[in-house]
């Protein structure tokens, strides 16, 4: 197959609409006779709802008012557990929990009305920390507040301590992080018993929303239709949350008989929707005198917030990545996702891996120090190689070369020269410079048997004009889905990129290709697109209308002929797992992922001792990703992920007060601006993955995993201070530097 | 409930055309553009003047339209993203964004294009520092800014119109 | 958008006298509204209880920058963008230009005004520390009077100022200095751009033969108002900035400021950094 488009930076499929402002996001869609909707939410973290009062001065008879009692089906958001209600009925379990919905044609009046609704509550004791949850200061879920627990065992950790010459312990913490897509969440809904429910919205997974609305309305699947509008960023924040806002818009539509639009403002979006799970990781690591890992005991805990949502899956990924890209014969990971009275935490790029990898990559620098090895030498002695097993016992088949990646990353970042220069220049300098790095991996696709369970389907359909439409539920959210699918299909069919049309993800029209998450869209779904495209061509060839080697004109003529004489020209492909993959759900062992992308990131920082501010001054991101599908899009993914991770490491602090995010404004939740982000230099290596399209691996989340540890390792190199939590704000650095200075006196 | 004021008539030029709308005096220019004039290219990202997604050019200067009350738009000359291209002929900034991958999800793009056009009006050949400062008021969550910087540099090299030109 | 927009009145007076007349006849009813970069943020957050505003944005009497031999007078409506462009301000009042440049973004700088910044009276404002170290005076006008007063002392407490309910801020006057003073401005924010300051420090000093003949120090975000560090100034006047003297000055500063814990930072951080900035400023004077 000629690679005319694959591997080249073709124009973004929907680029023109985006640069001219013509792309239609959900708030750009207007319909006649549409109502607006708002959500009345709890101001307390936990309690019983005693009553709802509607204040004076509002023409309530003009409003549509919805409470839990109006839900036609089950009051729950179907996801994994069924513990999260769509609207709180009797109890409140987190601040900003939705209780009452209001709709009215006047967007301004709605705000007055929202203010005028009083929820009478009887507060109950609430808990806000992992420690309080583990201690059962209040029991929110089950008998022990544990949403999910994993015990992963490899080898015999308890016996292995005896082989260790040195044992190093450390505790590492990461805070919550807001996805902060620049387009706030929004939905438009129509809903009635006859026609069913139709949703337009900002979302990543139309079939997740579909699945949640079925039991909410007690309607058959065919009566629910979910359509994705242009979506202004997701990063996981629009993976599961949209089911809630879609349900709300639909309930108002159902009761009012009118179309309803709900658009969150930024403050509401920040305080009420999901964030990255805060984490606490405790490492206890045994190494020999010459720096070989013999035992790793890892305790990994996530704060899940008030409802289970996706915490079990986030926990799973974190667990599997907890030991980093190293070989250790004896590993224990005890992982728990705990319930607290914060708004439920959820999917955010990386999905547990950034938390786990921050901890292990910080810890490994400490372990290296304890055995008098440089951070790089220690890692070299322990990197995973072909033929070794991961902590789930997965055999590494590919010829992974982390040593080679490390060499190259050091070369590109001028690591040794800089480290030496900084060490020489730092004494007496007000601004201390440092360089640090992290080595890591990210498993692409759903964990274990997840992809088999998803059973993704893609369809392709040829038109009489000789164009080919791709029908998939995979959404374009900026990462380049439309472009990548078009490249793949065009090459497979041997026709022009411009002849590929991507159908709007609409559950009424496209099959379920699975959610747009888990770095799976290019690798897993892209592979299905390729197969389906090849099948279209095969069908034409088998029908005698086309030769294998054909021109585009011949293809176009063959399509027309086929459709005229035989009817629709379609192909449908369903996911089949690569051969030889084996996963045991009960033992949590085996092949966790079809493949991993591998990376070494190097961060250069400057720490100002006058203001205690750290900033990243240069960044090198090197990764092995199978095959680069589109150089500009691939680099764009890495650059964007690194920028988000710089935010996570240094700037993005959620200030919690009684379980509520107190800094829910862009003024006070600090995302890096163009003035804060350094040059990010991206490099790729390619060892093709046999089961990805043209060898490509998934890369969307990888760049989130490494930067935080690289940056904090660099801060340690610059200043000697050992920070074990992020964000490493100037206040944190000041306290650590003061403590260190005090200790020296 | 509080007593209310009446809508007032506001006349201004938008993308070269005279427009007149009825709006409350403290209505946001952003909402007047999007709802009354159906120019939905300008976006709301934060409603507090931090993200720049609502940026437009008012009398040639970049402003955050979420912070401009409708009555202060009276008599002004406004350019939105819809007025940056000349029909189907894209501005150099837009061409460069396409070429360099400056847009991913696209929601910040209208404001970012406006900010880039305004920057190039002030500094036709901006330095790296001038680009960063000029765009610091426009937040992008997708790109990490790298390809937006490249696009601005590339726009300087392209032959198309870069600035506002004449309406 | 959290406010009920139809309840808000914003009127455009035809002239300055019409505006002053309204303020005189209905004191406390009308609040002046200039560029709106503070007030509109409050409106959108549902935190603007006052409902009647007078748009002063088009009143020519409040704009313009005038230079005489002895002063530079800036109309209250001077925007941050206009400040940065003015050659005399760049040359003789660079801290004001530095402050303007670090305020918000280019878009904010095109709309935000010095007058608005002053009467918004935030202790975290970026320009007031520069105005204080330049001995700024402000002109307040009403139907009954026009008076000049030193800007220092204008703010009497958190969000409290010597502005009568019928008065408008008309202008800010900066006396030009005969000799070149040293200049230092540093804003420490949450990020490099578009940040509310955690600590803001402005300092100017006249140094001759290593001796500090005179100086001014002003800080933002470390007290309920932007303040002049008068005791610290007194401690340094006539001295040479040796390490011992600087260390003592840092102690004096700690007594003068009252930083707090808030959503952006901690009292300990603010105190420490304010002292560090003082040290950085004074150390430069020793050179």
Could you report the predicted ipTM of this complex, rounded to two decimals?
Answer: 0.97
Considering the domain architecture, whether residues A563 and A616 belong to the same structural domain is answered as no
Q: Are residues A555 and A501 in the same domain?
A: yes
Q: What is the pLDDT of residues A234-269, one digit of tens each?
A: 999 999 999 999 999 999 999 999 999 999 999 999
Asked if A668's CB is within 8 angstroms of C264's CB, the reply is: yes
Q: Which pLDDT score is estimated for B161?
A: 77
Quote the minimal CA–CA distance from B81 to chain A in Å: 6
Residue A691: per-residue pLDDT: 95
Whole-number pLDDT of residue A586: 85
A149 is a domain residue: no
Q: Is A331 a domain residue?
A: no
In terms of domains, do A606 and A713 share one? yes
Query: Cβ–Cβ of A612/C264 closer than 8 Å?
Result: no
The reply to whether CATH 3.10.129.10 applies to domain C60-175 is no
Q: Contact A662/C264, CB-based, under 8 Å?
A: no
- Return the structure tokens found at B29: 């220019």
* Inter-chain residue contact A612 with C196, CB threshold 8 Å: no
- The answer on A497 and A637 residing in a single domain is no
* B67 inside 8 A of chain A by CB: no
- B 14-53: CB under 8 A from A: 34, 38, 40-48, 50-51, 53
Q: How many CB pairs under 8 A join A and C?
A: 76
Nearest-angstrom CA–CA distance, B89 and B85:
6
CA B41 to chain centre: 9
What confidence tens digit (pLDDT) does each residue in A606-651 have? Answer: 999 999 999 999 999 999 999 999 999 999 999 999 999 999 999 9
Answer whether residue A702 is part of any domain: yes
Q: Is the peptide bond before A727 cis (omega within 30 degrees of 0)?
A: yes
Which domains are present in chain B? 8-83 (3.10.20.30), 92-157 (1.10.150.120)
As a residue count, chain C comes to 287
pLDDT of residue A745: 42
Residue A29 neighbours by CB distance under 10 Å: 18
pLDDT in tens, A586-595: 888 999 999 9
Are A555 and A500 in the same domain? yes
Cβ of A673 within 8 Å of Cβ of C193? The answer is: yes
Which residue, A199, A230, A263, sits at the end of a domain?
Answer: A263
pLDDT band at residue B79, thresholds of 50, 70 and 90?
A: very high
Cross-chain residue pair C276–A112, CB shorter than 8 Å: no
Query: Does any domain span residue A716?
Result: yes
Q: What percent of chain B has pLDDT over 90?
A: 93
In-domain check, residue A484: yes
* Mean predicted lDDT score pLDDT of chain A: 97
In a domain, A294, yes or no: no
Does B166 score more than 60 pLDDT?
Answer: no
To the question of domain C182-285 being in CATH 3.40.50.300, the answer is no
pTM for the full model? 0.98
Q: What is the pLDDT of residues B83-92, one digit of tens each?
A: 999 999 999 9
Chain A closest-CA separation from residue C89 CA (Å): 25
Structure tokens that stand for B58 in this block: 């008012």
Number of domains, chain A = 3
Return the structure tokens found at B46. 């934060």
Residue to test with chain B: of C10, C82, C107, most B Cβ within 10 A? C107
Domain spans of chain C, in order of start:
5-55, 60-175, 182-285
A637, A673, A683, A699, best to mutate vs chain B, most B CBs in 10 Å? A673
Mutate to test the interface with A, among C272, C280, C284 (most CBs of A within 10 A): C272
With contacts defined as CB-CB under 8 Å, which chain A residues touch B108? Answer: 182, 232
Q: A682 to chain B: nearest residue by CA?
A: B146
To the nearest whole Å, the CA of B66 is away from the closest chain C CA by 8
Which of A111, A674, A738 is the closest to C46 by Cβ? Answer: A111
| Closest residue on chain C to B23 (Cα) | C6
Cα gap A527→A514, rounded to integer Å? 13
Q: Nearest CA to A383 among A435, A461, A328, A317?
A: A328
Give the count of Cβ contacts less than 8 A between chain A and B: 168
Report chain A residues whose CB lies below 8 A from the CB of B136: 673-675
Contacts of C193 in chain B (CB under 8 A): 133, 136-137
pLDDT at B159: 84
Those residues with Cβ within 8 angstroms of residue C243's Cβ, 6 or more apart along the chain or in another chain: none
A132 found inside a domain: no
CA angle, C61 as apex, C58 and C66 as ends, to 5°?
120
DSSP string, A204-216: S-HHHHHHHHHHH
Q: Which of A574, A602, A635 is a domain's end point?
A: A574
Q: Summarize the confidence of residues A64-71 as an average pLDDT.
A: 98
Asked if C269 and A612 come within 8 Å (Cβ–Cβ), the reply is: yes
Q: Which residues of A touch C (CB under 8 A)?
A: 107-109, 111-112, 115, 265, 267, 430, 609-613, 615, 651, 655, 662-663, 665, 667-668, 670, 672-676, 730-731, 734-735, 738
Residue B3 pLDDT: 85
Characterize the bridge pairing of strands A91-92 and A47-54.
antiparallel
Spell out the residues 6+ positions from residue A438 whose beta carbon is closer than 8 angstroms to its own.
A357, A361, A600, A601, A706, A707, A708, A709, A710, A713
Q: In chain A, pLDDT over 90 holds for what percent of residues? A: 98
Which of C5, C196, C269 comes nearest A734 by C-beta? Answer: C269
C-alpha span between B1 and A588 (Å, rounded): 60
Residues of B in contact with C30 (CB under 8 A): none
pLDDT tens digits for range B113-129 = 999 999 999 999 999 99
User: Are A428 and A536 within one domain?
Assistant: no
Say which CATH topology domain C5-55 has: 3.30.43
Rounded to the nearest integer, the mean pLDDT of chain C is 97
Q: Which of C6, C57, C111 sits opposite B63 (nearest CB)?
A: C111
Window 100-159 of B: residues touching A by CB (8 A cutoff) are: 100-110, 113, 131-133, 135-149
Segments forming the whole domain that contains residue A714: 350-447+591-744
The enclosing domain of A461 has a CATH number of 3.30.365.10
Determine whether the interchain pair B141/A57 forms a contact, defined as Cβ–Cβ distance below 8 Å: no
B74: contact with C, CB 8 A cutoff: yes
Q: What are phi and psi of C168, to 5 degrees?
A: -120, 145
Question: What sign for the dihedral angle of Cα A722, A724, A730, A736?
Answer: negative
Whether A376 is covered by a domain: the verdict is yes
Chains near C, with 3+ CB pairs < 8 A? A, B
Indicate yes or no: CB of B2 within 8 angstroms of CB of C7. Answer: yes
- Residue A375's pLDDT is what? 98
In terms of DSSP bridges, do strands A259-263 and A34-41 run parallel, antiparallel, or are they unpaired? parallel
Helix extents (H) in A188-304? 206-217, 242-256, 266-272
| Phi–psi pair at A617, nearest 5 degrees | -105, -20
Residue count of chain A, please give it: 745
Residues A566, A466 share a domain: yes
* Residue B164 clears pLDDT 70, i.e. is over it: no
What pLDDT band is residue A741 in, cutting at 50, 70 and 90? confident
d(CA A15, CA A478): 10
Q: Which of A17, A21, A233 lies closest to B142 in CB terms?
A: A233
Residues of chain C with pLDDT under 70: none
Asked whether residue A324 carries a pLDDT value surpassing 50, the answer given is: yes
- H-helix or E-strand spanning residue A225: strand A224-228
Per-residue pLDDT reduced to its tens digit, A269-321: 999 999 999 999 999 999 999 999 999 999 999 999 999 999 999 999 999 99
Interface contact C191-A673, CB threshold 8 A: yes
The pLDDT assigned to A652 comes to 98
CB atoms within 10 A of CB A445: 27
With contacts defined as CB-CB under 8 Å, which chain A residues touch B51? 182, 666
Which of A20, A22, A675 is closest, CB to CB, to B133? A675
B3, B48, B68: residue with CB nearest C41? B48
Cβ neighbours of B20 (radius 10 Å): 9
CB contact under 8 A, A21 and B41: yes
Do both A655 and A685 map to the same domain? yes
């Amino acid at each position: 197959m000629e690679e005319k488009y694959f591997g080249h930076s073709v124009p973004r499929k929907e680029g023109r609409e985006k640069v001219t402002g013509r792309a239609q996001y959900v708030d750009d869609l207007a319909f006649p006779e549409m109502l607006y909707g708002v959500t009345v939410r709890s101001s307390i973290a936990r309690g019983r709802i005693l009553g709802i009062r509607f204040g004076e001065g509002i023409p309530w008879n003009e409003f549509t008012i919805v409470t839990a009692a109006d839900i036609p089906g089950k009051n729950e958001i179907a996801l994994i557990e069924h513990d999260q209600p769509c609207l709180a009925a009797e109890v409140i379990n987190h601040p900003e929990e939705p209780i009452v919905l209001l709709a009215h044609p006047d967007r301004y009046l709605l705000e007055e009305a929202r203010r005028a609704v009083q929820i009478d509550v009887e507060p109950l004791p609430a808990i806000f920390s992992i420690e309080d949850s583990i201690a059962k200061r209040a029991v929110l879920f089950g008998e022990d507040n544990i949403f999910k627990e994993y015990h992963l065992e490899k080898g015999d950790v308890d016996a292995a301590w005896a082989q260790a010459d040195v044992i190093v312990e450390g505790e590492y913490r990461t805070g919550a992080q807001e996805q902060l897509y620049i387009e706030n969440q929004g939905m438009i809904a129509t809903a009635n018993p006859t026609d069913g429910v139709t949703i337009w919205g900002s979302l990543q997974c139309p079939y997740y929303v579909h699945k949640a609305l079925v039991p909410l309305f007690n309607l058959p699947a065919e009566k629910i239709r979910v359509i994705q509008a242009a979506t202004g960023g997701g990063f996981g924040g629009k993976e599961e949350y949209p089911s809630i806002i879609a349900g709300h818009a639909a309930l108002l539509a159902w009761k009012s008989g009118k179309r309803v639009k709900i658009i969150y403002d930024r403050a509401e979006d920040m305080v009420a929707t999901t964030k990255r799970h805060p984490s606490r990781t405790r490492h206890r690591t045994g190494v020999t005198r010459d720096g070989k890992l013999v035992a790793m005991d890892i305790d990994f805990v996530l704060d899940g917030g008030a409802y289970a949502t996706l915490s079990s899956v986030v926990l799973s990924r974190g667990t599997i990545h907890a030991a980093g890209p190293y070989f250790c014969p004896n590993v224990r990971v005890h992982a728990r996702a705990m319930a607290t009275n914060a708004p439920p935490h959820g999917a955010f790029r990386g999905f547990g891996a950034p938390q786990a990898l921050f901890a292990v990559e910080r810890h490994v620098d400490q372990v290296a120090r304890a055995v008098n090895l440089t951070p790089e030498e220690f890692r070299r002695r322990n990197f995973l190689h072909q033929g070794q097993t991961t902590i789930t016992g997965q055999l590494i088949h590919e010829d992974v070369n982390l040593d080679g990646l490390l060499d190259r990353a050091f070369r590109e970042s001028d690591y040794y020269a800089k480290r030496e220069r900084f060490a020489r220049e730092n004494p007496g300098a007000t601004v201390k410079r440092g360089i640090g790095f992290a080595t890591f991996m990210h498993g692409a696709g759903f964990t274990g048997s997840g992809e088999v369970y998803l059973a993704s389907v893609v369809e392709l359909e040829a038109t009489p004009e000789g164009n080919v439409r791709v029908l998939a539920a995979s959404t374009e959210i900026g990462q380049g889905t439309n472009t990548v699918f078009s490249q793949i299909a065009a090459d497979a069919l041997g026709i022009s990129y411009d002849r590929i049309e991507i159908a709007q993800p609409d559950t009424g029209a496209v099959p379920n290709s699975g959610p747009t998450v888990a770095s799976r869209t290019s690798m897993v779904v892209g592979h299905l697109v390729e197969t389906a495209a090849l099948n279209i061509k095969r069908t034409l060839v088998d029908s005698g209308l086309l030769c294998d080697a054909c021109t585009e004109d011949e293809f176009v003529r063959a399509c027309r002929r086929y459709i005229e004489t035989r009817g629709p020209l379609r192909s449908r492909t369903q996911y089949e797992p690569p051969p030889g993959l084996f996963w045991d759900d009960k033992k949590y062992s085996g092949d966790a992922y079809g493949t991993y992308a591998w990376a070494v990131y190097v961060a250069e920082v400057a720490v100002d001792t006058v203001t205690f501010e750290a900033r990243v001054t240069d960044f090198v991101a090197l990764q092995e990703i199978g095959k680069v599908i589109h150089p500009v899009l691939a680099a764009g993914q890495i650059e964007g992920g690194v920028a988000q991770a710089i935010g996570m490491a240094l700037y993005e602090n959620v200030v919690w007060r009684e379980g509520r995010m107190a800094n829910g404004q862009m003024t006070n939740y600090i995302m890096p601006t163009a003035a804060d982000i350094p040059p990010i230099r991206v490099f790729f290596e390619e060892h093709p993955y046999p089961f990805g399209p043209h060898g490509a691996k998934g890369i969307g989340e990888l760049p989130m995993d490494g930067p935080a540890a690289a940056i904090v390792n660099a801060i340690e190199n610059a200043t000697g201070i050992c920070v074990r939590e992020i964000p490493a704000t100037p206040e944190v650095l000041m306290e650590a530097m003061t403590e260190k200075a005090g200790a020296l006196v | 409930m509080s007593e209310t004021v009446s809508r007032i008539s506001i006349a201004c030029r938008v993308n070269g055309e005279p427009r007149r709308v009825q709006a409350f005096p403290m209505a946001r220019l952003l909402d007047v553009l999007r709802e009354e004039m159906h120019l939905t290219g300008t976006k709301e990202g934060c409603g507090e003047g931090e993200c720049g997604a609502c940026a437009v050019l008012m009398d040639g200067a970049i402003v955050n339209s979420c912070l401009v009350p409708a009555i202060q738009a009276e008599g002004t000359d406004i350019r939105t993203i819809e007025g940056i291209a000349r029909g189907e002929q894209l501005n150099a900034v837009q061409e460069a964004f396409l070429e360099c991958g400056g847009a991913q999800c696209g929601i910040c793009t209208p404001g970012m294009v406006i900010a880039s056009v305004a920057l190039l009006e002030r500094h036709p050949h901006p330095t790296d520092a001038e680009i960063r400062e000029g765009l610091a008021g426009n937040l992008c969550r997708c790109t990490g800014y790298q390809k937006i910087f490249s696009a601005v540099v590339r726009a300087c090299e392209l032959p198309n119109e870069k600035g506002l030109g004449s309406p | 958008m959290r406010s009920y927009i139809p309840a808000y009145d914003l009127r455009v007076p035809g002239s300055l006298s019409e505006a002053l007349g309204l303020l005189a006849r209905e004191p406390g009813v009308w609040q002046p509204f200039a560029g709106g970069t503070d007030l509109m943020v409050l409106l959108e957050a549902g935190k603007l209880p006052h409902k009647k505003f007078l748009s002063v944005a088009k009143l020519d009497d409040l704009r313009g920058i005038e230079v005489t031999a002895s002063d530079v007078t800036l109309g209250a409506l001077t925007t941050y963008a206009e400040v940065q462009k003015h050659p005399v301000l760049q040359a003789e009042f660079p801290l004001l230009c530095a402050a303007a440049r670090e305020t918000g973004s280019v878009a904010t700088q095109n709309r935000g005004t010095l007058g608005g910044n002053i009467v918004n009276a935030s202790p975290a404002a970026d320009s007031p520390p520069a105005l204080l170290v330049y001995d700024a005076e402000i002109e307040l006008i009403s139907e009954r009077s026009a008076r000049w007063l030193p800007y220092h002392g204008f703010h009497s407490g958190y969000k409290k100022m010597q502005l009568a309910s019928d008065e408008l801020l008309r202008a800010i006057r900066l006396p030009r200095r005969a000799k070149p003073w040293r200049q230092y401005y540093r804003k420490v924010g949450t990020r490099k751009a578009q940040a509310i300051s955690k600590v803001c420090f402005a300092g100017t000093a006249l140094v001759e033969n290593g001796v500090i003949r005179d100086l001014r120090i002003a800080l933002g975000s470390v007290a309920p108002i932007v303040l002049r560090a008068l005791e610290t100034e007194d401690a340094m006047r006539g001295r040479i900035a040796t390490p011992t003297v600087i260390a003592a000055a840092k102690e004096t500063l700690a007594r003068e400021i009252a930083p707090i814990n808030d959503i952006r930072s901690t009292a300990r951080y603010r105190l420490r950094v304010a002292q560090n900035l003082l040290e950085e400023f004074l150390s430069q004077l020793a050179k």
